Amino acid sequence: MGSLHTGRRAENQDMPGPFRGGSRPRYARLKRMLPSLVAGLVVSGVLLASTWVVERQLTTAVLQADLDDLAQIRTRIESQLNQASNVSDGVGAMIEVNHGLDVDSLRSVADRMLERTPVIRSIAIAPDNVIQISIPLEGNEAAIGVDLAAHPIQGTSLRRAMQTGEPVLGGPYELVQGGYAVIHRVPVFFDTDGDGAEEYWGVVSTPIDVMRLFESAGVSDRLNEGSLAVRGMDGLGADGAVFLGQPELFAEGDVLTTPVIALDGRWQLAMQPSQPPAMVTWLTRAAELLAVLVGLLVIWLAVRWQAQQRSLVDSERLLRDVTSNVSDVVFRTDRRGQLVYVSPAYERMVGRSEQGVIGASWLNLFPEEERRRIREAAERMRGRGHAGTGQSRLERVVLTTRLVRNDGTEVPAEVRVEPVATAAQGQSGLVGTLTDLSDRQAFEQLEGLATAVFEGAGDAIVILDRFRHVLAVNPAFERLVGQSSKELVGARLTTPEVLDHSRRRLEACVRGLRQRGRWTEELACRLPDGRERVLGWSVDLIRDDRRRVSRYVAVISDVTVRHRRMQAMHHRALHDPLTDTLNRSGLEERFEQARLHAIREGTGIALAFVDLNGFKPINDTLGHHVGDEVLREVSRRLSGVGRREDIVARLGGDEFVVAFYGVRNDADMVRLGDALLEALREPMVLGGTAQLIHVQASIGFARFPDDADTLDGLMRRADAAMYRAKEKRDDTVVFHRDLVAASDSTDHE
């Protein structure tokens, strides 16, 4: 039994019992004040919440008004821009329909369009990218003769329009004729030479006065005040530079933004939100202060009321509170051994009320067959008196026994009992505890079972501490590494696998354990006896109750047979059984890897379609077994051309595909084709036949990515080139665009 200890002397000397002279802990006073604090906080919280709700509603209303205003600004700007785009599109359409300039009609229509679209400064028409007509001419004379393609600033947007064939938005720019405008450019294409194909004629440009545009949108005051800014130079939206307003406005956290569809590009508007009126802010702060003061007043009144209601708690009540909340049963007897107190834990342990044993002998807590042994042990507590003192020394008895629950089941328990003595009366009774041993015994049984599993497991198991020192290994691990546990325990594993020292694997293991608490991988290792095996590793990280790393548990399984079987299955799935070169599936897998590598490195891949000529007579006259030998020899010779990383595959029959890395041009492909033919030209001497066998082939080449960007597309192009080689009796043909029709017709057959 422990005793209660307090850190300072009590000021109240009237506290009865063994706690006289102590002091209540500080937290008790805070606990008593807690209801008062909660009441005050609740009142303040309700008042503050109400204030904040009103403030939030006002702020939301102001924000919604700003959002509506920003949406209207965006609508007005987009409306003006759309009108401007209709002008440039309409002028471009007139030129395309008339197949050139009809100046009089164009001026008449343009004048009417400009009257309806005041934001447009002029309409500039530039055949061959040189401005020849400006409507109106007055004030824009400096623009006549300007070569837009050679312009150092505006040339970029013009080239983009020519390349895409679509209208583009450029600027804003400083115009040569003066002013600041964004320019909408519409490229004009039509059949200029009567060959049925459209050619680039020139461009129609409409400079849109930026300041006039935003004045018509009604935002001039906001721009002058610095509360509005616009970015999106050259129609790049949020990625473009700021061309109106303060750039710092976009970096503010609470700024309101909206995109603007600026013709064929995008702008982004940023507007500083409006602030609530100063009077509203002042009233809100005053309401918050009042709420805090009201809460403090409630706390003060509640503490005063609680102070009037407090009373002293006697030591017996405190003792009962303490003993009622411990899991062990606490009991106390009088001098005759009769129970005067049993804690409520007794009912939780055996299912019977503790009130039913009060007044009975404390031995009645135990089954009848256990009482004699416990009584004899208790009688031995009082030893013989010390010589010359006449006093007895007190002893504690600790026994393992059992209790019987109300349902008849038994509970293993430990009883601790010792006498209580006073200076005046001597021994005045016994005090003891009963501890339920069920969990402890279950844990011991589980520990024994875990030990049996650990020792008898067929997989190797090693347990490490947080510093990766070996704590224990099972017999299977000893057999695996050929070392005894005495040699291994205490050693530090610097790699996840004791059989293969790899820093990269260690880093992968540590990273997996930190992220997921587990790391699994199959590793090829060489055992101490020289055998090469594949081991499946599973490492788990165990943390203590403070979430700190406590243990590592590694389980190692020998998965060599399964791993080799899977490798063989994968090899058979991707390789031709006759020649052991790649089949169609293997070709697709390897080519996808080569394609990604070529894209990363910016290189090409040449694909050769090889078809043997006159192979059928070999099968018919010499037999299929000779034909098979010929195909195997052809595969070997094709594999000898080029580099090890190049791809050789047999599609079936006498058709082969060879893919070469890093091919730059047609000359390289012709050279590779000659090398392939040279390799096949050497006569074959095969077992089973006395005559020399000559093999010829037709080869068609196609190149990635110039001819096609997929394997199927390259094979179709190379196949078309191969058939052209057969028709012309050429040995090698490189795919050209005149073979597109042939390859497409092959696709449809």
pLDDT of residue 531: 74
Grade residue 655 by pLDDT with cuts at 50, 70 and 90: very high
State the CATH number of the domain containing residue 428: 3.30.450.20
The pairing of strands 228-231 and 265-271 is antiparallel
Strand blocks (E) in 369-409: 397-404
Percent of the chain scoring above 70 in pLDDT: 83
Half-sphere exposure of 15 (CA within 13 A, CB side): 20
- Regarding whether 416 and 377 lie in a shared domain, the answer is yes
The three-class DSSP label of residue 140 is: coil
Q: Mark which of 522, 538, 564 sits at the end of a domain.
A: 564
What is the C-alpha separation between 31 and 303, in angstroms, rounded? Answer: 12
530 versus 412: which is more confidently predicted?
Answer: 412
Please say if the pLDDT value at position 7 is more than 60: no
pLDDT of residue 606: 93
As a three-state string, the secondary structure of 592-623 is HHHHHHHHHHCCCEEEEEEEEECHHHHHHHHC
- Regarding whether 582 and 539 lie in a shared domain, the answer is no
Q: What is the DSSP letter of 386?
A: P
pLDDT of residue 34: 75
- Regarding whether 79 and 184 lie in a shared domain, the answer is yes
State the CATH number of the domain containing residue 675: 3.30.70.270
Count of domains forming the chain: 4
- Regarding whether 253 and 347 lie in a shared domain, the answer is no
**Could you please report the per-residue DSSP string of 654-715?**
TEEEEEEES--SHHHHHHHHHHHHHHHHSPB--TT--S-B--EEEEEEEEETTT-SSHHHHH
Grade residue 748 by pLDDT with cuts at 50, 70 and 90: very low
405 versus 220: which is more confidently predicted?
Answer: 405
The pairing of strands 123-127 and 133-135 is antiparallel
- Regarding whether 593 and 717 lie in a shared domain, the answer is yes
- Regarding whether 117 and 229 lie in a shared domain, the answer is yes
Q: What mean pLDDT comes out for the span 633-641?
A: 91
Q: What mean pLDDT comes out for the span 20-24?
A: 45
Contact 263, 81 (CB under 8 A): yes
Domain extent, residue 93, equals: 61-271
Residues with Cβ < 8 Å from 719, sequence gap 6 or more? 609, 700, 743, 746
Per-residue model confidence as pLDDT tens digits over 291-316 = 788 878 878 877 777 776 665 445 55
pLDDT of residue 696: 86
Please say if the pLDDT value at position 325 is more than 60: yes
What is the C-alpha separation between 724 and 673, in angstroms, rounded? Answer: 15
Q: What is the mean pLDDT of the chain?
A: 78
The tokens of 465 are what? Answer: 């501490």
Residue 293 lies in a domain: no
Per-residue model confidence as pLDDT tens digits over 62-86 = 778 878 888 888 888 877 788 777 7
Helix (H) or strand (E) holding 421: strand 410-422
pLDDT of residue 308: 67
Percent of the chain scoring above 90 in pLDDT: 9
- Regarding whether 581 and 560 lie in a shared domain, the answer is no
Grade residue 392 by pLDDT with cuts at 50, 70 and 90: very low
- Regarding whether 536 and 657 lie in a shared domain, the answer is no
The pairing of strands 123-127 and 732-734 is unpaired
The pairing of strands 732-734 and 696-704 is parallel
pLDDT of residue 507: 67
What is the C-alpha separation between 150 and 134, in angstroms, rounded? Answer: 19
As a three-state string, the secondary structure of 161-218 is HHHHCCCEEEEEEECCCCCEEEEEEEEEEECCCCCCCCEEEEEEEEEEEHHHHHHHCC
What is the C-alpha separation between 454 and 467, in angstroms, rounded? Answer: 22
Distance, first Cα to last Cα, the chain: 97
Please say if the pLDDT value at position 745 is more than 80: no
Please say if the pLDDT value at position 365 is more than 50: yes
What is the C-alpha separation between 329 and 258, in angstroms, rounded? Answer: 71
Inter-CA distances, 502 with 127, 470, 521, 525, 539, Å: 69, 19, 13, 11, 16
- Regarding whether 492 and 407 lie in a shared domain, the answer is no
Q: Specify the residue for token string 């209303």.
A: 61
Residue 53 lies in a domain: no
Inter-CA distances, 677 with 72, 683, 735, Å: 74, 12, 18
pLDDT of residue 493: 66
Please say if the pLDDT value at position 23 is more than 50: no
- Regarding whether 560 and 465 lie in a shared domain, the answer is yes
Amino acid at 306: Q
Please say if the pLDDT value at position 620 is more than 50: yes
Residue 188 lies in a domain: yes
What is the C-alpha separation between 127 and 17, in angstroms, rounded? Answer: 112
Q: Specify the residue for token string 């599936």.
A: 585
Grade residue 658 by pLDDT with cuts at 50, 70 and 90: very high
Please say if the pLDDT value at position 576 is more than 80: yes
Residue 28 lies in a domain: no
Per-residue model confidence as pLDDT tens digits over 584-618 = 999 999 999 999 999 999 999 999 999 998 888 88
pLDDT of residue 316: 58
The gap from C-alpha 298 to its chain's centroid, in whole angstroms, comes to 50
pLDDT of residue 607: 94
